[in-house]
Chains A and B, each alone.
Chain A
Amino acid sequence: MSALGVNDLTVDLGGRTVLTDVHLTVDKGELVGLVGPNGAGKTTLLRTLMGLLRPRAGHVVVDDEPVRRRRTGLGYVPQRHEFAWDFPISVENVVMTGRTGKLGLFRRPGVADWQAVAEALDRVRMTELRTRPVGELSGGQRQRVLLARALALQPSVLLLDEPFTGLDMPTQELLSDLLLSLAREAHAVLMTTHDLPAALYTCDRLALLNRTIVAAGTPDQLRDERLWMDTFGVGAHNPLLKILKAG
Chain B
Amino acid sequence: MSPLDFLTDLVNPDLAFLPKALLVAVMSSIVCGVVGCYVVLRGMAFIGDAVAHAVFPGLAVAFVVSGNLILGGTLAGVATAVLVAVFAQNRRLREDSVIGVFFVAAFALGIVIISRAPGYAGSLQQFLFGSITGIPDEDLYVVGGAGVLVLGVVFLLHKEFVAITLDREMARAMGLRVFWLDIVLYVLVTLAVVISVQTIGNILVLALLVTPAATARLLTDRLAVMMLLAPVIGGLSALVGLYVSWSWDFPTGGTIVLVLTAAFLTAWVLAPRHGLLARRLRRPPGIPADPAGTVVSPTGS
Beta-carbon contacts under 8 Å, B141-179 to A = 156-157, 159-160, 162-163, 165-167, 169-176
Q: Is B296 an interface residue (CB 8 A)?
A: yes
Contact of A166 (CB < 8 Å), options: B173, B220, B301:
B301
Instruction: Please report which residues of chain A, range 75-109, place their CB below 8 angstroms from some CB of chain B when the two chains form the complex.
Output: 76, 78, 80-90, 93-94, 97-98, 100-103, 105-106, 108
Partner of A101 from B166, B176, B295 at Cβ < 8 Å: B176
Check if B175 sits within 8 Å of A97, measured CB to CB. Answer: no
Inter-chain contacts of B174 with A (CB < 8 A): 70, 98, 100-102
A69 to B175, CA, bound (A): 6
Given contacts A89-B162, A100-B159, A105-B160, contact A50 B173 (CB under 8 A): yes
Asked whether A87 lies within 8 Å of B223 as measured between CB atoms, the reply is yes
CB-based nearest B residue for A104 = B175
Using known A-B contacts A97-B162, A137-B296, determine if residue A88 contacts B175 with beta carbons closer than 8 Å. no
Is B259 interfacial (CB-CB < 8 Å)? no
A142 at the interface (CB under 8 A from B): yes
State whether A137 touches B295 (Cβ < 8 A).
yes
Q: Which of B163, B220, B294, B301 contacts A100 (CB 8 A)?
A: B163
Contact (Cβ within 8 A) B166 A83: yes
* Alpha-carbon separation in the docked complex, A219 to B221 (Å): 46
Contact of A82 among B163, B169, B217, B223 (CB under 8 A): B169
Interface string of A157-183 (1 = CB under 8 A from B): 000000000100000000000000000
Q: How large is the interface on A (under 10, 10 to 19, 20 to 34, 35 or more residues)?
A: 35 or more
> Quick check: is A122 within 8 A (CB to CB) of the other chain?
no
B259-300 to A contact mask, C-beta < 8 Å, 1/0: 000000000000000000000000000000000001110111
Residue numbers in B under 8 Å from A149 (CB-CB): 170
Please name all residues of chain A whose beta carbon is closer than 8 Å to the beta carbon of B295 when the two chains form the complex. 136-138
- Are B221 and A88 in contact, CB atoms less than 8 angstroms apart? yes
Tell me whether B220 and A88 are in contact (CB under 8 A): yes
Closest B residue, CB atoms, query A70: B175
Among B159, B220, B298, the residue within 8 A (CB) of A97 is B159
Structural contact, A135 and B298, CB atoms closer than 8 A:
yes
Complex Cα distance, B176 from A100, in Å, reads 8
A58 interfacial by beta-carbon distance below 8 Å: no
List the count of A-B residue pairs having beta carbons below 8 Å apart.
103
Q: Are A133 and B169 in contact (CB under 8 A)?
A: no
Evaluate contact between A97 and B166: CB separation under 8 angstroms.
Answer: yes
In whole angstroms, how far apart are the Cα atoms of A103 and B299 in the complex? Answer: 30
Partner pick for A52 among B156, B159, B160, B172, CB 8 A cutoff: B172
Distance from B7 Cβ to chain A, minimum over Cβ atoms (Å): 37
A139 at the binding interface (Cβ < 8 Å):
yes
* In the complex, B226 has a CB within 8 A of chain A: yes
> Which residue on chain A has the smallest CB distance to residue B222?
A88
- Max chain B C-beta neighbours (<10 A), residue from A52, A84, A106, A108: A84
Decide yes or no whether B41 CB sits under 8 A from chain A: yes
Q: Which residues of A contact B226 (CB under 8 A)?
A: 88
Residues of A within 8 A of B223 (CB): 87-89, 93
Which residue of A83, A93, A139 is within 8 Å of B296 (Cβ)? A139
- CB-CB < 8 A to A94: which residues of B? 166
Residues of the B chain whose Cβ atoms lie less than 8 Å from the Cβ of A70: 174-175
Q: In the complex, how many angstroms separate the beta carbon of A113 from the nearest chain B beta carbon?
A: 11
A37 part of interface (Cβ distance < 8 Å):
no
Q: Of B166, B169, B173, B295, which is in contact with the most chain A CB atoms at under 10 Å from its CB?
A: B173
A51 at the binding interface (Cβ < 8 Å): yes
CB proximity of A221 to chain B, nearest CB, Å:
32
B298: chain A residues at CB < 8 Å are: 85-86, 135
B interface residues with partner A (beta carbon < 8 Å): 41, 91, 156-157, 159-160, 162-163, 165-167, 169-176, 217, 220-223, 226, 294-296, 298-301
Given contacts A47-B169, A87-B165, A108-B159, 6 further A-B contacts (CB under 8 A): A70-B175, A88-B41, A88-B221, A101-B176, A105-B156, A135-B294
Q: Can you offer 28 A-B residue contacts whose CB atoms are under 8 A? A: A50-B173, A51-B173, A76-B173, A81-B299, A84-B41, A88-B41, A88-B217, A97-B162, A97-B163, A97-B170, A100-B159, A100-B162, A100-B171, A100-B174, A101-B171, A103-B159, A105-B160, A135-B221, A135-B294, A135-B298, A136-B221, A136-B296, A137-B295, A138-B295, A142-B300, A149-B170, A166-B300, A166-B301
